[in-house]
A and B are shown apart, each in its own frame.
Chain A
Amino acid sequence: MACAKKGGDAVRPYTRSSDMADTSIKEPFWSPARHLDKLSIVLFFAAWEAAPRLGGIVETFIAPPSLVLKTLVELFRQGEMLGHVTISLSRAVSGFGVAALVAIPLGFLLGGGFRTFERLVAPVLRFLGQVNPFSLFSLFVLLFGIGEFSKGAMIFWVSLWPILFNTINGVKSIDPLLVKSARSMGTGLTTLFFKVILPAASPGIFHGLKLGSGTAFFMLIAAEMIGASRGLGWLVWNAQINFQMPQLFAATVLISVLGLSLNFTFGALEEKLTGWRRKSAGES
């Protein structure tokens, strides 16, 4: 190459310096540094298991992991658990799904075509985004009844805002030069949207979806604890009033695992679809 890698690198619109951190050279497999994170979780469970046995912590309050696992397996074997998981997940997915279907197009409209209008309504939207549906629980029940719909509406409400705000930001932060360059090639509006605007805004949208899914799952458990007769939140609440600590822990652990896998799924999807943001110059 006649043109060496020097200078002219001032413009790096899609690469924040923090993104460069995760491209450090990997330690070899046998290196202890590579397993530091796994070690911490093993130690954590070991300490948890040991504490009630060594005394100091009463087993009635803190159930050891072995007992939690046993309870969990039993709950699944009884066949009830799967029903709770299914109903919880279907509530979360439907509320979150509708929120995404509403928030993403709305975000494109507000962040793209109607910017003056967006400036006008932004403060109101920010305020509404901070409204906690649990403080208005009675209102939700009044409006949507006590059934599935009111729980769905609450999930919808909490996941709507992060998706909406991040979509607006994603659309607003599109480099106008990209649009100009595409338009100069005579790109039609539909093609411009699918080939330029949508991919350029996708990091923002994905960030919003990830945040929204976390919030949706978190709030789902709370909603089920307040008013439900089935679901993981109800299971926690039921164990609590019956003072069944192993069951309480079993449900909590399952919720954490589900939350983690949700996060992992969205992270993997984000990496696959918008990985061009992260890949760095050091590779190859």
Chain B
Amino acid sequence: MSNLAENIIPDQEPKIVIRNIGRTFHIKKSPAGPHDFVALQEISLEVQKGEFVALVGPSGCGKSTLLDILAGLAKPNSGAVFIDGKQVTGPALDRGIVLQGYALFPWRTVRQNVEFGLEIKKVAKGERREISTRFIDLVGLKGFEDRFPHELSGGMKQRVAIARALAYDPEVLLMDEPFAAVDAQTRETLQDELLRIWEETRKTIIFVTHSIEEAVFLADRVAVLTANPGTVREIVPIDLPRPRQNSDIRSSPEFGWTRHKIWELLQNQPPADHRAGEQRPVADAISPSAAL
């Protein structure tokens, strides 16, 4: 918690408070026999309003579980999440979620997909149309309103998913490896676009990713998670200048240095002493795109 303190402006109430979250899964079928798998252990994190926080870590560190808990789709075994001081008890429209698999409704057009949350919110039809037009425009899909999801490329589908999550105006955007399934070039375009959208909408974003580079490029702070059990190892502030989009910031020495620091943090994870037989280089567990 020590490095967290220097990033918080004292008189501002944090937007999201994650306090001592623990989540354990009981594994029935495994060669080692039934045992408890500690996915998350004493996770604590505070996120300011309008802040962009990325979560990186190896597979199995519970990043996605943590995001599900934030979304209200899963319950922690211990601890609690507060948004604006109110405890999260279930899913609600104050949080928007964007998943890796797009999860667009294939029977709905781009516009109808974007309007889904607005229908749940019971927004009147005329207003729905106005809002969906605005957000389709924001993600650069003007002219594609009446296309069905299978008529779009992977990158375009993810733009629709972002527009859908933004349309009902949540204050917090939770993104679970949203760009993992698109090719490298589209990915960089989408990262630029996301930063532009973030600056236009000033949402609070929590972004889960496998890629160190993506985390450094996007975030104000990067929370480095360890696996077995999933805990926050360190929170690294990213002091790179903004706006970072459409710039060559990736090749700057500061960028490389920050990326290396996070890489080292992931490399030098403390040995998981309670499972001594299973030590393996953590870098192997991170996707190739994360390696240097």
Contact = CB atoms under 8 A, between A and B. Distances in A.
Interface residues of A, number: 40
Nearest to A274: B107
Given A3-B186, A8-B154, A8-B181, A180 B103 contact: yes
A13 interface: yes
B105 A199 contact: yes
15 contacts: A5-B156, A6-B183, A6-B185, A9-B154, A10-B154, A11-B102, A175-B103, A180-B99, A183-B73, A186-B120, A200-B107, A276-B108, A276-B148, A277-B106, A279-B150
Ranked nearest first, the 4 interchain pairs of A and B with the lowest CB-CB distance are A8-B154, A7-B183, A181-B103, A8-B182
Interface string A262-281: 00000000000010110111
Interface in B130-159: 140, 147-148, 150-157, 159
B168 interface: yes
Contacts of B283: none
Given A175-B101, A177-B99, A274-B107, 8 more contacts: A3-B190, A5-B153, A8-B157, A11-B101, A14-B106, A186-B92, A191-B120, A284-B151
Interface in A1-42: 1-15
A187 interface: yes
A8 B183 contact: yes
A203 B189 CA distance: 35
B145 to A, nearest CB: 12
B116 interface: yes
A241 interface: no
Interface residues of B, number: 43
A195 interface: yes
Contacts of A199: 105, 107
Contact of B151 (A2, A10, A183, A281): A281
A12 B97 CA distance: 21
Contact of B91 (A7, A15, A185, A274): A185
A179 to B, nearest CB: 9
A198 to B, nearest CB: 10
A200 to B, nearest CB: 7
Contacts of A242: none
Given A1-B140, A186-B93, A11 B154 contact: yes
Most buried by B among A8, A186, A280: A8
A3 B140 contact: yes
A184 interface: yes
A234 B220 CA distance: 80
Nearest to A181: B103
Nearest to A12: B150
A185 B92 CA distance: 5
B119 interface: yes
B105 A3 contact: no
A1 B139 CA distance: 11
A186 B91 contact: yes
Contacts of B95: 184
Contact of B106 (A5, A13, A186): A13
A3 B73 contact: no
Residue from B73, B107, B152, B159 with most neighbouring chain A CB atoms (10 Å): B107
A7 B101 CA distance: 14
